[in-house]
Amino acid sequence: MNGPDYHALYEKIGDMQATLRVVKHETTTVSTKVDALALLVANQGHLAADVEALKAQVHMLEIEKHRREGAVGLIEWASKHWPFLGLSAVLIAWIGYANEMFK
């Protein structure tokens, strides 16, 4: 009796179904990755604009920081040297009065 071997045929069909499940899973994974990559490429232009805006904002903040540091430095210098500044103001006023600059 050389009839068809149904058992071997069912095994081959089962192997093919398992292979198809793996292929389906891999296709879904690749599709998800391609979608994520497409989204990243689409947003790349927006990211470049955001980076430029942030660079400009950082530059403005650095300028403001330097202004503040300069003002604080001037106030600190004046507070440390107030006797010299007071004496200089008195001396300038006395010289101006002696030369009749203030009438």
Return averaged pLDDT per consecutive 10 residues of the chain, 103 residues in all: 76 91 93 89 80 93 94 89 89 88 72
pLDDT score of 3: 63
Q: What is the pLDDT of residue 66?
A: 94
Give CA–CA dist 14/28, Å, rounded: 21
pLDDT score at 90: 92
Query: What pLDDT is attached to residue 28?
Result: 92
What's the angle, vertex CA 46, arms to CA 44 and CA 50, rounded to 5? 115
Residue 99 to residue 92: CA distance in whole angstroms: 11
Contact in structure between 82 and 89 (CB atoms under 8 Å):
no
Cα–Cα distance for residue pair 99/19, rounded to 1 Å: 107
Q: What is the pTM of this model?
A: 0.43
> Taking a C-beta distance cutoff of 8 angstroms, is the pair 25, 17 a contact?
no
